[in-house]
Structure 1
Amino acid sequence: MNRNLAIGMAVAALFGCGDGSDQSFASANPGTAAAPNSVPGNAAPVVAPANASTPAPSSTPGNLTASTDTASNPSPNPAPNTTPASTPAATADVFVKTALTQYVNPFIGTADSSAPATDPVPAGARGGTFPGATTPFGMVQWTPMTPSNGGQDHPVGYIYKEKTITGFPLTQMSGSGCDGNEGELPIMPTFDTSSVGVNAKENFDHKNETARPGYYQVTLNDGISTELTATTRSGFGRFTFPARSAIASANKTPYLVFDATRSNTISSTTGVIKAEGKDGLSGSTVGGKFCGARTYTLYFYAKFDRDITTTISNGKADVSFDAGSKPAVLMKIGLSYVSSDNARKNLEQENPNWDFNAVRDAAADAWNNRLNAIQVTGGSETEKRKFYTALYHSLLSPNTNSDVTGDYLGFDQKTHKVQAGRTQYVNYSNWDVYRSLIPLNSMLFPKETSDMMQSLVNDADQCGAIPRWAPINVDAGIMPGDSGVPTIMGGYAFGATNFDAKKALDYMTLVGNKADVQCTGDHVRDSVDRMNDYLVHGYAAMDNGWWAGSLTFEFGTADFATAQLAKALGDNMNYQLFLSRSANWKNQFNPTQKQLLPRYRNGSWLLNPQPNADMVEGNAEQYTWMSAYDARGLFKLVGGNAATIKRLDAFFQNLNAGMNLPNFYMGNEPSFATPWLYNWSGAPWRTQKVVRDVANTVFSDDPGGLPGNDDLGAVSSWYVWAAIGLYPEIQAVSGLTVGSPMFDKVVIRWADGSKKLVINAKGAASNSPYIQTLALNGQALDMPWLWLKDLKDSATLDFTLAASQSQWGQDSSAKMPSFGLDSFTSLADALNNHGIGTDGQKTTRGLEGYTYDMGGWSYSSQALATAGVKPGGSFSFNGIQFTWPDGKSGLDNMVSQGQTITLAKPQGAGTLALLGSSTNASSAPTGKLTVTYTDNTQASFDLRFDDWTLGGGSAKVGSYNQIALTSAHRVDQNGNTDNTKAYVYYWDAKLDQQRQVKSITLPYQTDNGAVMHVLAMELK
């Protein structure tokens, strides 16, 4: 049965994909496809096995399984009526699979960028991709490994300018920026075992090298041809040695050298190899250390198609065999992170036979199925190669980690079993991929991406929190922020909802409310001091040193994602609390320079931060534009739309600037969203032009075709979005902003297999980016935003494009979604903090983030009752009747973060009075409060509140406040009380009674970095 399945898959590849499915890229000219039926190197032509019967005319290859691992690599769009690529266009309800692997050039990104940044991030000059054999999201990524240019280039993998292959490791992390990027268990065919590894000399020429999805081939200078293919968890190699006469005359012995004692970047590690009968090997190697993370053990089980003779010594095996009668030596190998026995089971289930061509073709068909999720028509051949290679690179990670048994090694170093029907994944470059890759894969492949999100939840179960940068079974603790949180919400928002979202939200609110949360020994939010600062000041202070200046923006992004998941799950308390905290980026907006800048704990500013020192891998101007979820709030602070457009125009004078220059940097993730911000400024034609310029000039279809390291597909995914003319600008929100398509037609096939989004672009061309008209299902649209729900049923977008700009969308800026704090009608709507505790009772899970000062202390409800106020009751002071918060929502005060409260009914008043206090204030902070009247005139006031405990009793009340309430004691997060008095202060401002008050805007920051709270507000 397995034999017949393998034959069937090969036939499916032949008849379902057409000749184009066998086209490949020879690296001597990676931009050019080989002839349709070319035979790479010594590879046999793609034909059905000799004993395969001819399929009946009515057979439907499209129904055949597209992968040897149906659980992990199902066809995304089962298509019973699949026909060859040459078939005329089908009717609207029939899916015609086309041959798309021909457009994938795996060599793109293997060389330094053709459009290099002036000062790229570390390891950011090269795309860092690999040309080897793998399947979508596969565990096995079998690829050649080259030297590191004399130690100059890191991390090591495949570097195009090298002419030496030091081995073919079974694993690889595509486009990552750190040493330890896998590359375990290099295997090398040779006649000279002493020339393998560090002793290798130049041994190949790119003209003798070929790569395409699921297949890699090279003929070395010694005449040995290496062909590699893969299933999800196993590799299959065909090593063809020269004829027997050539070997005999030179007195050569053919070998395969297994080396379990080194990896890409670990020059010496622990490895074990042992013989398995007459024709096999098993063993393990210790890999990992990605960016300094801990190691792990990778197990293997290998089988040959003939008897072998093995010399094993200290983790290395020299394997020799008789290659005379059958010079094409077949070797297949299974991997596992649990045991060699599981590696054997992976191999036996996924590849039980010896048909190399069938496995190769099945891998190609699996890729073709994935690529067919997006079908494009029109455009140049170069644009198609750039597009489909970018989509291919977007589907390399995260990687399968669970075995066919369901076993996987968890973050707690114990063996777990994944839930039936699911796959456990690893390798989450969350800081990189949450911005565009996860939304893309969630939209196209929600089943697999749901498993990826569940995998992160499983990781949290084992280590205590959602990891933020997770290579294999560990949180590496690299890159700032809490990027696992927006990764999960990006998945949820774009369709990957089949996971335990409630448990995910519990972990999100845990890490967002506690200063000390760790996963495998690394603090998820960077460090206790930095997260404590963020909670108690509303920003991570520069007092914490290196990179601290960019932490607030990342933490705010995580808080926004938490708010959106809370809203989706009906948790309104956490929605309001975390939406408010997402506005913390404003605490670092310097009103003089109108730029996001680092601050110290005392509120002072670092006006000239050092790129990639004070702010991670970038500079202040690049980070200023990162908070895309509140674009309207950002533009208001910058000075309005006109000022924003002027700033952005200057920003895009360089399209791949690097870390130092105050310009756009396509090669690194913090700049990804910025080209699309023009859509919020009333100038969407500028987005259309900039995005097209980036796609045309910074990306190419040669080895230097990526602007920086691909970061597990992050950069490539940006290109995919740019090419189809849409982008997930607000990653936690289920909608897309609009650019312009590069192709005449784009068909996105949704995962249910029956619905699709058709994008027609009349007038599309490389120099024709400007939208003249746009319609959704025949209805004209006048703004560059689409809600995903309107596209996920069968839908049609009709663009008209031209080479000259139009004013389409110019009046839409006010209608674009922006998630600031400007839509409240009362103070009760704007409450965002839990600050009144109960003696003897813990806060929610005893977390300090649910306390008044967000450091662990709150007002005592009992002490306040003694002082004269009860929840929902009235309190009179200075002749003004205040309503005390009832706390029923779980929130009872408002941290001032620039909220605008627009009155349901305008009101004339002579006094605006507030009750409140400040926390963590060495002196009373000052912030600007603005009253806007119905005639749009404004009055500004200095709002000041003293510290709620007067510094523990050491300070006095200022003249700007009066003590309205005195609480005899406080209560901490665990319900314990102390004897520190806590106060509530009265502040007022005199208003123009001749005018009607329309709205009140609270301060968005304070002068000294302290936090102001408002408990009640009245007009009289």
Structure 2
Amino acid sequence: MNLHSHKHFRKNLAIGIAVAALSGCGGGSDQASAGSVGASAAANSLAKDAAAANSSAAAHAGLTQYVNPFIGTADSAAPATDPVPAGARGGTFPGATTPFGMVQWTPMTPSNGGQDHPVGYIYKEKTITGFPLTQMSGSGCDGNQGELPIMPTFDPSAVGINAKENFDHKNETARPGYYQVTLNDGINTELTATTRSGFGRFTFPAKSAIASANKTPYLVFDATRTNTIASTTGVIKTEGKDGLSGSTVGGNFCGARTYTLYFYAKFDRNISATINNGKANVSFDASSKPAVLMKIGLSYVSSDNARKNLEQENPGWDFNAVRDTADDAWNKRLNTIQVSGGSDTEKRKFYTALYHSLLSPNTNSDVNGDYLGFDQKTHKVQDGRTQYVNYSNWDVYRSLIPLNGMLFPKETSDMMQSLVNDADQCGAIPRWAPINVDAGIMPGDSGVPTIMGGYAFGATNFDAGKALDYMTLVGNKADVQCTGDHVRDSVDRMNDYLVHGYAAMDNGWWAGSLTFEFSTADFATAQLAKALGDNTNYQLFLSRSANWKNQFNPARKQLLPRYRNGNWLLNPQPNADMVEGNAEQYTWMSAYDARGLFGLVGGNAAAIARLDTFFQNLNAGVNLPNFYMGNEPSFATPWLYNWSGAPWRTQKVVRDVVNTVFSDGPGGLPGNDDLGAVSSWYVWAAIGLYPEIQAVGGLTIGSPMFDKVTIHWADGKKKLMIKANGAATNSPYVQSLKLNGKALDMPWLWLTDLKDNSTLHFSLAASESQWGQDSAAKMPSFGLDGFTSLSDALNNRGIGSDGQKTTRGLEGYTYDMGGWSYSSQALAAAGASPGGSVSFNGIQFSWPDGKLGLDNMVSQGQTITLAKPQAAGTLAILGSSTNASSAPTGKLNVTYTDNTQASFDLRFDDWTLGGGSAKVGSYNQIALTSAHRVDQNGNSDSTKAYVYYWDAQLDQKRTVKSITLPYQTDNGAVMHVFSMALK
């Protein structure tokens, strides 16, 4: 349904009234009820929330007219060939809510006999089984809230599972903050909301044939079922002559634990309630006042708090004013980005996408600051803050959190602080968090890039230092849990990642996609460490962010699962060995090191050719080796052309996706919206910018769809103006671009350069240009290629001290990342002291001083470009391997100043020779012998540990420019380097 204007809204409302009027009731009119103080309180509540939405930025246009909440409620009009389970439709809802609201009051329909998932509102259905007060927009799992369904009826026995077809879409209206439907029995239902309360107007056709047949009007409250829990525990009791209170047990999202939702409801008249085991049939006299008003507060703490929420946010009875206040709150949010030009269809697609992007995370704290924590205890949020829940972090870290961080830094800062509060209560930042629990679903450690994505894009007002502590905890320990779920999937998987540099397929289901996700979390940790001045953890975690290369198969040139022994799984099963995708889709996910990825693929030309094939299908699903717009792993891929020297291809592909995969009808989303994730991608695409490197405050460039886009910054004074001469539906190609009048020649912008009064001026056309073709080498890419000496590249703590515990006793701060290190005392006795030198085979080596707590380098493809090129006949390295049943081999490349190269097999034996059971190979010599080792708690053992010497003969007639270490080994073991010398 397309909603064009406020006039159109009133017309649709009038249709609903007319249907009722034909039955002789005259109900549903826009009569103003007594108690304008209620409207004032609601207005004050939402106005306070909307203050950060730049209310003083400009005269606000009427933008809610362009929002169609029905978009995404039907199966995609451009369906994926093979969607993820439950991924055929957007899974959105048309009900009434406010930005980031606790209450999301919406109709609920059947699920086609249990065939259609996720459950909620499914557009093709003709039956409404109730109007639950909570929802989770676009989530793929069942258990997506849907608690406390309330249903107006003349026949309580026909509510719920017994309901028959009872409505038609022609009698239904939805707009931000308001939903209306006239049921087939003539009852007109209207819903609106404040942040923590719902407000319903139920107009019963008092003089209809049904009513004249002595039918009694009811509102049925059902606390014994939710969207997906067929039978749950509920309690309802009366409150005086005109109210109800109670609770219901909901949750169970993707199998997560349940929780209790409390409510407090008031009517505008006396009621009679028949209550039986958590169900209440509420009747009342509607003969003289057929428009029955009912308002209801929610809380996850208590019914008394639900009452306080209701009384503070909506103490009066002016439905129209509350509805209009909700509309105004949405309008202010939407006006944060003002667009002009383009068609009405494009505006509907854009503003509905922005609307969907602001539905979650959701308010969880009550008006008095109380909220239920992850420890199942009641906490009080800090003054001036709001506690939020419902984080589909695996989905939203890629584009939604950067969008909200950029537009609404206050709220997003509170969202980030909420995750830190959760960690205080459960032990770690949750990775997928519905109400007060980590659901433990989806791979990786996605809460970490969520927090850094918010921080990088402006949401910095939270305890970032504590967040970094939690990030480094989970990144250095195999077993960290939140509410009983392992944050990095399982002990074995995280242990593999630490000690091998990849999560092995020996762990089974989905293990093949864990390494990329863990590496992404490590990159985010590195960036926050850098921002906070923690250079030790910056270097350590930046190096681990390169672990994805351990799964890049050099023969297939594809990201593939690997076993612990180094063997490859060459034909992984989509959505089994790799979560919700396939090997080709995952290959393109390392956007933070695009240059490194393209180098492995075979260079820019090879990458372009392969991407061209990839985009032959724009919504492929999980099986085909093509782009899948309907799911997050592919989000960043269309923008990768910008790193290849062919940005016009990004401009074309993104515009094709926007034009063909999205639409403005119920089937307008390509797959699950996942709490706004897919919609946020559309918002970025439409304005011509994208947060390709989520943990870095910068944007890569596509092309805007509109003649003019104005982004109002949160201070309410400054703005970014995007002007696009020649913008049109099929005019995506950038001919030129200027920032504040200065020509730009590459498709990248740093956010700090935009956070003032800035103007981007595009010139667009329907024919491609070569703009940006020479920019590939200048695009930001965070590989391990910026070092001028080995000391700059150190990234591992490998030398412990007898009797001294490592930082928090974490195994990730040890040499083998499993808990054991060299002893500094034993090494000193062998001749290697911090900052000293070691002489072997006539070569003098500098021994690391360890001042930053880093004393060796895990080999991960680092390129060390010598500050001063040097001619030499020998390259010599001191190092060893860890977790090596046999000596690993990796390719080391020496590049000379004439750009010729020499390649060598670097090999190091295991540092303990398998605990003393093996012998040194011919490729190594023992340079140092440590008499004992030390564990993470400072305890020593009698196992000898060795440092080996390896060398290679160079061409003395050439001058060495750089040395590139192996990015992976043949058997999955890890190689370390302590020192390197040329002679």
Same fold (TM over 0.5): yes
Deviation sequence 1:356-410 (CA, Å, 0-9, x none): 0000000000000000000000000000000000000000000000000100000
Correspondent of 1:996 among 942, 946, 959: 959
Number of the residue aligned with 2:383: 420
Mapped contact 2:33–2:317 kept (Cα < 8 A): no
Distance 1:693 1:503, change over 3 A: same
Distance 1:441 1:47, change over 3 A: farther
Number of the residue aligned with 1:444: 407
Is 1:180–2:143 an aligned residue pair?
A: yes
Is 1:254–2:249 an aligned residue pair?
A: no
Mapped contact 1:41–1:218 kept (Cα < 8 A): no
Q: Distance in 2 between matches of 1:383 and 1:267?
A: 40
Q: CA deviation at 1:118?
A: 1.0
Q: CA deviation at 1:76?
A: 1.2
Is 1:741–2:741 an aligned residue pair?
A: no
Correspondent of 1:165 among 128, 142, 146: 128
Number of the residue aligned with 2:112: 149
- Match for 2:9: what amino acid? S
Deviation sequence 1:521-570 (CA, Å, 0-9, x none): 00000000000000000000000000000000000000000000000000
Q: CA deviation at 1:20?
A: 3.9
Q: CA deviation at 1:993?
A: 0.5
The 3-state SS of whatever aligns with 2:577 is: coil
Alignment of 1:504-523 (within 5 A): 504-523=467-486
- Match for 2:112: what amino acid? N
Is 1:24–2:9 an aligned residue pair?
A: yes
Number of the residue aligned with 1:15: none
Is 1:118–2:81 an aligned residue pair?
A: yes
Number of the residue aligned with 1:434: 397
Q: Distance in 2 between matches of 1:47 and 1:737?
A: 51
Correspondent of 1:878 among 841, 844, 849: 841
Q: CA deviation at 1:155?
A: 1.8
Is 1:618–2:581 an aligned residue pair?
A: yes
Number of the residue aligned with 2:452: 489
Number of the residue aligned with 2:522: 559
Distance 1:375 1:839, change over 3 A: same
Q: CA deviation at 1:44?
A: 5.4
Number of the residue aligned with 1:816: 779
Q: Distance in 2 between matches of 1:34 and 1:742?
A: 30
Q: CA deviation at 1:46?
A: 5.9
Q: Distance in 2 between matches of 1:266 and 1:67?
A: 36
Number of the residue aligned with 1:14: none
Distance 1:50 1:600, change over 3 A: closer
Number of the residue aligned with 2:603: 640
Mapped contact 1:72–1:423 kept (Cα < 8 A): no
Distance 1:151 1:511, change over 3 A: same
Deviation sequence 1:424-475 (CA, Å, 0-9, x none): 0000000000000000000000000000000000000000000000000000
The 3-state SS of whatever aligns with 1:470 is: coil
Q: Distance in 1 between matches of 2:348 and 2:378?
A: 41
Q: Distance in 1 between matches of 2:14 and 2:185?
A: 28
- Match for 1:294: what amino acid? R
Q: CA deviation at 1:75?
A: 5.1
Q: CA deviation at 1:718?
A: 0.3
Number of the residue aligned with 2:45: 68
The 3-state SS of whatever aligns with 2:754 is: helix
Is 1:700–2:663 an aligned residue pair?
A: yes
Structure 2's unaligned 5+ residue stretches are 21-26
Alignment of 1:62-141 (within 5 A): 68-74=45-51, 76-79=53-56, 95-141=58-104
The 3-state SS of whatever aligns with 1:577 is: helix
Is 1:1015–2:978 an aligned residue pair?
A: yes
Number of the residue aligned with 1:941: 904
Correspondent of 1:977 among 940, 956, 966: 940
Number of the residue aligned with 2:282: 319
Number of the residue aligned with 1:9: none
Distance 1:722 1:235, change over 3 A: same
Q: Distance in 2 between matches of 1:567 and 1:900?
A: 21
Alignment of 1:542-621 (within 5 A): 542-621=505-584
Is 1:755–2:687 an aligned residue pair?
A: no
Q: CA deviation at 1:835?
A: 0.4
Q: Distance in 2 between matches of 1:756 and 1:500?
A: 27
Deviation sequence 1:579-625 (CA, Å, 0-9, x none): 00000000000000000000000000000000000000000000000
Deviation sequence 1:955-1006 (CA, Å, 0-9, x none): 0000000000000000000001000000000000001110110000000000
Q: Distance in 1 between matches of 2:533 and 2:659?
A: 44
Number of the residue aligned with 1:930: 893
Q: Distance in 1 between matches of 2:31 and 2:749?
A: 46
Distance 1:984 1:960, change over 3 A: same
- Match for 1:178: what amino acid? C
Number of the residue aligned with 2:24: none
Mapped contact 1:917–1:946 kept (Cα < 8 A): yes
Number of the residue aligned with 1:652: 615
Deviation sequence 1:676-714 (CA, Å, 0-9, x none): 000000000000000000000000000000000100000
Q: Distance in 2 between matches of 1:333 and 1:550?
A: 44
Deviation sequence 1:896-941 (CA, Å, 0-9, x none): 0000000001001110000000000000000000000000000000
Distance 1:419 1:21, change over 3 A: farther
Mapped contact 2:205–2:211 kept (Cα < 8 A): no
Deviation sequence 1:301-339 (CA, Å, 0-9, x none): 000000000000000000000000000000000000000
Alignment of 1:823-834 (within 5 A): 823-834=786-797
The Cα RMSD (Å) is 1.8
Q: Distance in 2 between matches of 1:968 and 1:23?
A: 83
Number of the residue aligned with 1:462: 425
Mapped contact 2:350–2:686 kept (Cα < 8 A): yes
- Match for 2:629: what amino acid? M
Mapped contact 2:42–2:313 kept (Cα < 8 A): no
Q: Distance in 2 between matches of 1:955 and 1:479?
A: 41
Structure 1's unaligned 5+ residue stretches are 1-17, 26-32, 54-60, 80-93
Is 1:799–2:762 an aligned residue pair?
A: yes
Distance 1:659 1:234, change over 3 A: same
- Match for 1:183: what amino acid? G
Distance 1:46 1:77, change over 3 A: farther
Deviation sequence 1:473-531 (CA, Å, 0-9, x none): 00000000000000000000000000000000000000000000000000000000000
Q: Distance in 1 between matches of 2:208 and 2:918?
A: 96
Q: Distance in 1 between matches of 2:100 and 2:327?
A: 14
Q: CA deviation at 1:64?
A: 11
Deviation sequence 1:189-244 (CA, Å, 0-9, x none): 00001000000000001100000000000000000000000000000000000024
Mapped contact 2:35–2:317 kept (Cα < 8 A): no
Correspondent of 2:494 among 528, 531, 535: 531
Distance 1:733 1:47, change over 3 A: farther
Q: CA deviation at 1:66?
A: 5.2
Mapped contact 1:67–1:366 kept (Cα < 8 A): no
Q: Distance in 2 between matches of 1:773 and 1:970?
A: 61
Q: Distance in 1 between matches of 2:367 and 2:351?
A: 30
Correspondent of 2:344 among 360, 376, 381: 381
The 3-state SS of whatever aligns with 1:217 is: strand
The 3-state SS of whatever aligns with 1:68 is: helix
Mapped contact 1:22–1:37 kept (Cα < 8 A): no
Mapped contact 2:127–2:163 kept (Cα < 8 A): yes
Number of the residue aligned with 2:228: 265
Q: Distance in 1 between matches of 2:435 and 2:214?
A: 44
Number of the residue aligned with 2:240: 277
Q: CA deviation at 1:19?
A: 11
Q: Identity, % of aligned pairs?
A: 87
Distance 1:361 1:873, change over 3 A: same
Q: CA deviation at 1:51?
A: 9.9
Is 1:215–2:192 an aligned residue pair?
A: no
